[in-house]
Structure 1
Amino acid sequence: MAAGKPTMIDAADIAIAQQLRDKALHDDTAFDFTEGLTTEVGARLAGGPNDSKAREWVIAKFKALGFDKVWSEPVTYPKWVRRGEHAEIVTPVSQPLTLLALGHSPGTPAGGISAEIIAFDSFDALKAADAAGIRGKIVYVGARMQAYKDGHDYGVGSTVRTRGPSLASQKGAAAFLLRSAGTDTNRLPHTGVTRFADGVAPIPAAALSSPDADQIERLLKRGAVTIKLALDCGIEGEFTGANVIAELRGSKTPDEYFLMGGHLDSWDPGTGAIDDASGIGISVGAAHLIAQLPKRPARSIRVVAFANEEAGLYGGIAMAEANAKSISKAVLGSESDEGADRIWKITASVKPEARAAIGQIADVLKPLGIEYDPTAKASGGSDLSAIHAVGMAAISLEQDATRYFDWHHTANDTLDKIDPEQLRQNVAAYAVTAYLAAQAHGNFGSKPGEWAADGH
């Protein structure tokens, strides 16, 4: 293909995509998949008792749905175990606290830890604090998240959760607590992973429910507060899981493919319905509709159930490393990992010559209430971030995240939070995008080491 020639999509393919879109609005394959995974398997903590069970369930389901090829690729990661946690205010009052240990946190010594709390309202405040006032204390950071449609405030909470314990340890803290990275007011804490920098001694770390965080802050205004913290958790060696891949084989250039999916693992308090069984379900539903067409699209379509996203993007990183040199064959990719509410916007990171084709896709999506921002950066999704980083072009189908962080990483991440009608709208958007990307004449700019296409 001559350099600079625009990527375009035929009118006949646009018409087929419109039919896929309309059919998806009456198809419940995605919901049935999500219901089955969350009911028959349940919570899927990476390395936990349901890790292998979930993988085998998905392999069987992919095969039953008629994909042309189904396979798995091993991924190894630390096996973190949660056995239990307990905390209580000791002084100036006696009161139990509701909390969850953070993934990759170590446990406390036998008998737990009792220490005074020192509080900060942000990560930056902790960063600026003198270590002398922190040594031997339990650091608490009370940063608050607000609900937004694009979910951008998660950067506030996730920064505290992932980086706060390591920073507190560097300053000599005995343990770390944070106000949960969430937007709800339920007495249900939000778990999630934390990370300790190389050379930093891990310390026990946990997230408090929002009402418990409020209680601590009120007491701190009255004077010193002492807490007893007991966490029974920690890393127990390694576990080998796998990415599970299903493929609809392309009719003309089958070695090229559109990539979509979600992550198979979840945190353990709930059943991982919105994070992220629905993400895999949406991709499965879209691919299943395309599979019913009289003829396969020109390129292949791959659906991936990624291993262990929650504790460090292990599945996505493994796939990126394995495909870095051949990433140009992955013409475009997008992951669903922000719940199951309606998609409201698309963005793309592609070569300039592919912008017109993205515009054609956007036109088919417009009746679904989806807007297109041609200037915004696309991330493509959490698991795909490493794959985009080695050169795959990206398209983001952005879901309304207003409610997502009310339930994210909590015991409330259950099937009842999914609206089947909104889920079908997601499937319609993914079916259109996958089909048209697979049929497009020309590519979208995927090239090893070149995912800076179009300035993004």
Structure 2
Amino acid sequence: MRLVPMLLAAAVAAATFPAPARDAAADATPAGAETRIPDAAMALAGQLRDTALASSLAWDITESLTTEIGPRLAGSEADARAVEWAKAKFAELGFDRVWTEPVTFPKWVRRSERADVLGPHAQPLALTALGGSPGGTVEGEIVRFADLAALEAAPAGSLAGKIAFVDYRMERARDGSGYGPGSRVRSRGPSEAIRAGAIGFVMRSAGTDSHRNPHTGITRFDEGLEPVPSAALAVPDADQLARLLARGPVQLRLALDCGWDGEYTSQNVIGEMTGSSLPDDVVLIGAHLDSWDLGTGAVDDAAGIGITMAAAVHVAALERRPARSIRVVAFANEEQGLHGGYAYADAHAADIARHQIVAESDFGAGRIYAFNTSASAHAEAAEARIAEALAPLGIERSDAGGPGPDLIPITRKGAAWAWLGQDGTDYFDLHHTPDDTLDKIDPDALAQNAAAYAVFAWLAAEAEGDFGSAQVATAASD
């Protein structure tokens, strides 16, 4: 169940940058008129692009977060320190307004985890508890399934006293499309195992590496089912277990010390560079502040924090401010259920039309290669001009893409989204593993990302007209 807290925004004023006077009427367009990007804005886009490419600011921010805070599991002591870090960093970088909005969610803790093959081939296996798993120690015979569909077909009671093992191998893809089937094993597998009578669940990690680093991530248990210990094996250890099973029956002991521990309130941390003539309208860019606890959350998602904070600073450093404000949101607890995204969308439901367009960086630090938006037809020319300004960065206009995870709730309420597609070929080698550390990030690629987000945010904020954001009715479950 998703918890929706009562949201109270506490605004903290920081230093205000001077902005030249500008006629707001000049930025507005009649309803139904074509949205356009002024030539004057395009003229500054090249300067902005070059400045951002030459800057180390995105790297400096990312280094600061991963070094000074480290892993940031939602609800942990480090989560609270990350919130304070973000507030201080926004202020240090000169954002005009900095504030927080509360996000309440169930707290999950990890203490220890171990798996051992028993019997004549006794040996330990490298694995990690899935987020949301209960603790407990179980022993039983392993039953292997090639994929989720095979487990779903297991008859009720057929796994009584046994441990299910789903051995699905995730496919590598530039756009990360292989993650859908892999993550469904993680989210659906435990419940299907329980329906068949299993006392535990293990899976080949949803990842594309061949290192002994298991991939964690959140799982779910369907209502009415008694949760069982559930974990992910490192890819080489899944291979090892499969080879052992080819030799005959395997007994496994799975011992997890983890579980839910009450409720916690974290914060969405928000920084804003004030627009010159339409300050109440915003271009929102952001990333999530939390991470899993195995690495230092560098590619997922400190890089996104560095990219979007730096992009806003680069825009604010231009000779004049854009018409609209640039808002950067460091979302709370994306990893365990988009809690920060839901909280933000609920808190700002009445202001959807004020959100010119929204974009999130949450796919690592690979170079951006594609751009697309959900903009209405009347903004097609504006989208094309943004794509034109992004092209020198090696970015092509595309028909693919979608909103970042934390932005799904607000786009369901009617906000227009933009997608700046990062090369994720290697992303799932690191995703949710101990190997997600700063040294895996290419500083030049990070600067290219910051340049792309800066150009996009600047031109969207300067557009004469809108991209189609408008409040729509949504189901109560949203």
For 1:45 and 1:3, the matched residues in 2 are separated by 45
Root-mean-square deviation over aligned CA pairs: 1.1
| Counterpart amino acid of residue 88 in structure 1 | D
Q: Residue 271 of structure 2 aligns to a residue in which SS?
A: strand
1:88 aligns with 2:113: no
Q: Which residue of 2 aligns with 1:454?
A: none
Whole-angstrom CA distance in 1 between matches of 2:192 and 2:273 = 46
Once the 2 structures are TM-superposed, how far is the Cα of residue 196 of structure 1 from its aligned partner? Answer: 1.3
Q: 2:428 aligns with which of 392, 398, 405?
A: 405
Residue of structure 1 equivalent to 2:146: 121
Give the distance between the partners of 2:160 and 2:387, measured in 1 at CA.
55
Mapping 1:296-375, distance limit 5 Å = 296-373=321-398, 375=399
Give the residue type in structure 1 aligned to 2:451: A
In the alignment, what sits opposite 2:25?
none
Find the partner of 2:456 among 424, 433, 447.
433
Task: Report what 1:25 is aligned to.
Answer: 53
Instruction: Give the deviation of 1:219 after TM superposition.
Output: 1.4
What residue in structure 2 maps to residue 235 of structure 1? 260
Q: Tell me which residue corresponds to 2:14.
A: none
Of the candidates 213, 219, 225, which is equivalent to residue 250 of structure 2?
Answer: 225
- Given candidates 97, 118, 127, the residue that maps to 2:125 is 97
Three-state SS of the structure 2 residue aligned to 1:383 is helix
Deviations 1:279-316 (A, max 9, x none): 01000111111111222110011001100000100000
Alignment-mate amino acid for residue 428 of structure 1: A
**Separation in 2, partners of 1:134, 1:6:** 61
Q: State the one-letter code of the partner of 2:379.
A: A
SS of the aligned residue for 1:114 comes to: strand
Aligned residues: 446
**Closer/same/farther in 2, CA of residues 450 and 30 from structure 1, 3 Å limit:** farther
State the one-letter code of the partner of 2:231. Answer: A
Tell me the alpha carbon deviations over residues 373-412 of structure 1, each in whole angstroms, 9 at most, x when there is no partner.
1x33x42201111111111101100100001000110000
For residues 3-22 of structure 1, the C-alpha deviation after alignment (integer angstroms, 9 at most, x for no partner) is 33111000110011111011
Instruction: Give the equivalent residue in structure 2 for 1:65.
Output: 93
Q: Does 1:415 align with 2:438?
A: yes
- TM-score of the two chains, using structure 2 as the length reference: 0.92
**Partner secondary structure for residue 247 of structure 2:** coil
8 Å CA contact 2:141–2:250 kept in 1: the answer is yes
Tell me the residue number matched to 1:386: 409
Is 1:51 aligned to 2:83, yes or no? Answer: no
Aligned residue for 2:229? Answer: 204
Secondary structure of 1:438's partner? Answer: helix
Match of 1:15 in 2: 43
Moved over 2 A (4+): 1-4
- The superposition leaves residues 102-136 of structure 1 with CA deviations (integer Å, 9 ceiling, x where unpaired) of 1111001xxx2110111111111111221232222
Q: Is the 8 A contact 2:158 2:197 kept in 1?
A: no
5+ residue gaps in structure 1? 452-456
Check whether the contact 1:43–1:266 (CA below 8 A) recurs between aligned residues. Answer: yes
Tell me, yes or no, if the aligned pair for 2:341 and 2:406 is still in contact at 8 Å.
yes
Structure 2 residue runs of 5 or longer lacking an equivalent are 1-28
Q: Distance in 2 between matches of 1:61 and 1:271?
A: 18
For residue 325 of structure 1, report the CA deviation from its aligned partner.
2.5
- For residues 215-253 of structure 1, the C-alpha deviation after alignment (integer angstroms, 9 at most, x for no partner) is 111111222111001000000001100000000011111
Residues 157 and 195, structure 2, Cα contact 8 Å, conserved in 1: no
Displacement of 1:213: 0.4
Task: Provide, for residues 433-453 of structure 1, a one-character-per-residue CA deviation record: whole Å limited to 9, x for no partner.
Answer: 0000100011001011279xx
2:419 paired residue number: 396
1:79 is aligned to 107
Letter in 1 for 2:441: I
Q: Amino acid of the residue matched to residue 79 of structure 1?
A: K
Which stretch shifts more, 226-235 or 129-138? 129-138
Quote the residue 2:189 is aligned against.
Answer: 164
Answer whether contact 1:28 1:285 (CA < 8 A) is retained: no
Query: In structure 1, how many angstroms separate the alpha carbons of the residues matched to 2:30 and 2:280?
Result: 20
**Pair 1:247 & 2:272 matched:** yes
The farther-off stretch of 140-149 and 66-75 is 140-149
Post-superposition offset of 1:92: 4.6
Q: TM-score, normalised by structure 1?
A: 0.96
**SS in structure 2 of the partner of residue 6 of structure 1:** coil
1:256 Cα deviation (Å)?
0.6
Distance in 1, Cα, partners of 2:462 & 2:36: 9
Contact 2:359 2:419 in 1 (8 A): yes
The counterpart of 1:148, out of the listed 173, 189, 195, is 173
